[in-house]
Structure 1
């Protein structure tokens, strides 16, 4: 069994999280500058056994796609072309950034550390992955 990798896509930076090989625990991996994302993923997939990629799907409160969905769909076309052998699934990512920020507060991070948007993106990817894992059990 391979890992599941989650992506919290952003136009500037993208948070990435992965499971262990038993697909039980979701952990933040890193944040990557979005222009470097495809190269990072190709490199990571050469080194690690990944069964599936889960990508956050930003939605408005009325369940319509958010403005950033246009950029995500463009990225997904490139990803599918570059890595056709891996399944890609989407997960509703509403509130993950707010939940990530609250997680940072709850874990006792100082105000300066909470301003680290890269960390928020990585935690958001972890929350997307946890949500996906919960929906599968």
Structure 2
């Protein structure tokens, strides 16, 4: 069974998470520079089957798109042009970065380690994907 892949797109960095082949468990894959994301994904898709890509949709507390929404929209358009065979689903990403930071604290990471923004982005993508899987199971 193909994997699901989640993207927490950011201006500088993008966190990526994937499921196992049974689509049960979400795991952090990596964080890449956003300008290199499409090249990274092309190489990844050449090695792994992906059924769907989830892209975090940045929203404000009131549900309106955040200021980074146009950048995410542009990425999704470029993704769909380059990979038209892979469906994209937008998912609300509110609070994933805060949850990622709290996860780092809860897991006992030292303050220096918690300042690693690349790790925060990867964990945020993992939370986004695990939340999606949890809702899918209901």
> Taking structure 1 as the reference length, what is the TM-score of the superposition?
0.99
CA–CA distance in structure 1, aligned partners of residues 130 and 69 of structure 2: 21
CA–CA distance in structure 2, aligned partners of residues 113 and 2 of structure 1: 33
2:41 equivalent to 1:41: yes
Q: Write out per-residue CA displacement over residues 69-94 of structure 1, whole angstroms, 9 at most, x where no aligned residue.
A: 10000011100000000010011110
- Give the corresponding residue for 1:97: 97
Q: CA deviation at 1:111?
A: 0.3
Which runs of no fewer than 5 residues in structure 1 stay unpaired?
none
CA–CA distance in structure 1, aligned partners of residues 134 and 85 of structure 2: 24
- Give the corresponding residue for 2:108: 108
**Structure 2 counterparts to residues 5-84 of structure 1, below 5 A:** 5-84=5-84
Q: Write out per-residue CA displacement over residues 21-43 of structure 1, whole angstroms, 9 at most, x where no aligned residue.
A: 00000000000000000000011
Q: CA deviation at 1:113?
A: 0.2
Q: CA deviation at 1:12?
A: 0.2
CA–CA distance in structure 2, aligned partners of residues 63 and 13 of structure 1: 23
Which runs of no fewer than 5 residues in structure 2 stay unpaired?
none
CA RMSD in angstroms, aligned pairs only: 0.5
